[in-house]
């Protein structure tokens, strides 16, 4: 039988030398220590919670200030989080919007001091200093931004613009070119700046902008085409080598808009392969409608408007006059007699300077047409007009037949003026005596050709 000695703790106390009177005191000290630790932990948690709440609220105010430009919200955000660079940045943005850029610079300098590794803040500081007329301070800020982000385009682009305004062209275009290499979207702006500095000198622009590589040459060609420098645009395209067909079509339309018909044709004929290369001026391209028909296209092929009124245009192989196809136009009601149903731009030679009126270069247009159940008060006809200027009509065919007919041959002549370098051949309708002017039935066209008579 085991006996439990109830006096054991007291014996143990005696043996350890600890007085019974001191035990409660020691237990009390441990309890106070634990309580102190708990209170300290709670206080720390409350402090962290409060700090997080202050920062979170400051962040909300910062976001609102940046989106709305509220200066009061930005100030409150700075008050809640004075060591938050983003809050100071919001304050700078709000001050700038309120028309006090000098104070905005001070606030942005505080943001930079808090987050000096941020190249974006340095860039913004440079822009603000430049805005208040401090180019030296702006360059220092941009230097810091470039040092922190040497491969980013925007710091170099900003610094290059400041250097350009100071007249330091070599350093400026060194920065601008390196920025454009990092971000090709800046190439058109680079070319525009170089063009302004060179006062429209093509060679100097090419040198300043350091035009090289297909992408830059294509961009320069597009720029030159818009500015009427057709031959220089062609030269850049030739040097570029592989140019997408879409870019070529765009250049063709830009050159045509500027009246550079010959240069536009030189690009267009290469774009359209062997058939295009064999096309010689003056001639009608695909006069037999053997190739595909493009709707809404430009250049020197057949142009079929995409917004035709009550008419459909298609290729028909059931009964061509020559070859394997012809063009068929079906009319189904009211349409504007003045609208063009189909057209083509054609290069021609102008009359010799000093030639008497009516004695310029003469051309003859030939084609075949047939009608099927055509009923209208305004019959179709073919005409040739100036491609530029007042679009003066130079010649036209007789009206195409009404009712139903087989293939008939038509010819008509026109004479160019000293300024005529291109004409537009188009199918239109005669005006009606009443409005609206409906037309029903179908017209087929084939075997177009053109020859110079003198």
Concatenating the DSSP letter of every residue in 268-280 gives: HHHHTHHHHHH--
20/389: higher pLDDT: 389
Mean pLDDT of 153-163: 96
- Which letter does DSSP use for residue 72 in this model? H
Query: Does the pLDDT at position 4 exceed 60?
Result: no
Q: What band does 287 get if pLDDT is binned at 50, 70 and 90?
A: very high
352: left (phi over 0), alpha (psi -120 to 50) or beta: beta
- Which letter does DSSP use for residue 185 in this model? G
In whole angstroms, what separates CA 52 from the centre of its chain?
Answer: 44
> Which among 454, 422, 408 is positioned nearest to 298, based on CA atoms?
422
Mean pLDDT of 376-389: 92
Here the tokens at position 161 are: 């613009």
Query: Does the pLDDT at position 169 exceed 60?
Result: yes
The three-point CA angle 69-105-151 to 5° equals: 95
Q: What band does 180 get if pLDDT is binned at 50, 70 and 90?
A: very high
Q: What is the CA radius of gyration of the chain?
A: 41
440/360: higher pLDDT: 440
Mean pLDDT of 67-82: 78
Q: Are the CB atoms for 86 and 94 separated by under 8 Å?
A: no
Here the tokens at position 286 are: 């695909």
In whole angstroms, what separates CA 375 from the centre of its chain?
Answer: 47
CA dihedral 366, 314, 428, 422 (to 10 degrees): -60
Q: What band does 87 get if pLDDT is binned at 50, 70 and 90?
A: confident
pLDDT tens by residue, 263-272: 899 888 877 6
Q: How far apart are CA 252 and CA 221, in angstroms?
A: 11
Residue corresponding to tokens 């058939």? 275
342/243: higher pLDDT: 342
> What integer pLDDT is reported at residue 216 of this predicted model?
94
Q: How far apart are CA 380 and CA 161, in angstroms?
A: 59
> What integer pLDDT is reported at residue 95 of this predicted model?
86
> What integer pLDDT is reported at residue 21 of this predicted model?
52
pLDDT tens by residue, 196-234: 999 999 999 999 999 998 999 999 999 999 898 989 998
Average pLDDT, the chain: 84
pLDDT tens by residue, 96-147: 888 898 998 998 899 899 999 999 999 999 999 999 999 999 999 999 999 9
Helix (H, G, I), strand (E, B) or coil at 115: coil
Q: Are the CB atoms for 365 and 448 separated by under 8 Å?
A: yes
> What integer pLDDT is reported at residue 435 of this predicted model?
79
pLDDT tens by residue, 385-408: 999 888 999 999 999 999 999 999
Q: How far apart are CA 224 and CA 230, in angstroms?
A: 7
90/348: higher pLDDT: 348
Query: Does the pLDDT at position 27 exceed 60?
Result: no
Helix (H, G, I), strand (E, B) or coil at 132: coil
> What is the reported pTM?
0.68
Helix (H, G, I), strand (E, B) or coil at 435: coil
Q: What band does 31 get if pLDDT is binned at 50, 70 and 90?
A: low
């Amino acid at each position: 039988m085991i006996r439990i000695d109830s006096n054991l703790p007291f014996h143990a106390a005696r043996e350890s030398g600890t007085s019974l009177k001191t035990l409660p005191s020691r237990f009390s000290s441990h309890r106070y220590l634990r309580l102190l630790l708990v209170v300290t932990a709670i206080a720390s948690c409350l402090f962290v919670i409060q700090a997080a709440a202050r920062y979170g609220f400051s962040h909300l105010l910062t976001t609102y200030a940046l989106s709305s430009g509220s200066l009061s919200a930005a100030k409150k955000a700075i008050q809640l989080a004075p060591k938050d660079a983003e809050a100071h940045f919001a304050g700078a943005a709000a001050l700038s919007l309120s028309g006090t850029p000098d104070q905005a610079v001070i606030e942005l300098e505080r943001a930079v001091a808090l987050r000096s590794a941020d190249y974006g803040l340095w860039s913004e500081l440079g822009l603000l200093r430049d805005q208040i007329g401090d180019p030296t301070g702006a360059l220092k800020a941009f230097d810091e931004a470039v040092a922190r982000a040497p491969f980013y385009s925007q710091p170099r682009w900003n610094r290059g613009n400041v250097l350009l305004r100071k007249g330091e062209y070599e350093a400026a275009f060194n920065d601008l070119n390196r920025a454009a290499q990092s971000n090709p979207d800046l190439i058109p702006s680079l070319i525009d700046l170089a063009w302004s500095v060179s006062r429209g000198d093509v060679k100097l622009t090419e040198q300043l902008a350091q035009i090289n590589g297909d992408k830059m040459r294509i961009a320069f060609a597009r720029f030159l085409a818009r500015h009427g420098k057709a031959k220089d645009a062609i030269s850049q395209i030739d040097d570029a080598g592989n140019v997408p067909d879409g870019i070529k079509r765009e250049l063709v339309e830009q050159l045509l808009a500027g009246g550079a018909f010959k240069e536009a044709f030189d690009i267009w004929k290469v774009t359209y392969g062997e058939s295009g290369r064999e096309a010689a001026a003056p001639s009608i391209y695909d006069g037999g409608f053997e190739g595909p028909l493009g709707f809404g296209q430009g250049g020197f092929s057949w142009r079929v408007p995409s917004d035709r009124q009550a008419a459909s245009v298609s290729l028909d192989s059931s009964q061509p006059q020559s070859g394997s196809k012809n063009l068929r136009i079906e009319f189904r009601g009211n349409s504007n007699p003045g609208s063009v149903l189909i057209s083509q731009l054609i290069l021609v030679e102008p009359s010799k300077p000093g030639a008497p009126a009516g004695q310029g270069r003469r051309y003859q247009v030939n084609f075949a047409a047939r009608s099927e159940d055509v009923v209208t008060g305004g019959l179709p006809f073919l005409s040739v007009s100036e491609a530029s200027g007042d679009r003066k009509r130079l010649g036209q065919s007789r009206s195409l037949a009404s009712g139903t007919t087989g293939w008939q041959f038509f010819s008509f002549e026109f004479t160019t003026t000293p300024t005529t370098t291109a004409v537009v051949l188009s199918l239109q309708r005669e005006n009606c005596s009443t409005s609206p002017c409906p037309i029903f039935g179908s017209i087929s066209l084939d075997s177009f050709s053109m020859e110079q008579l003198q």
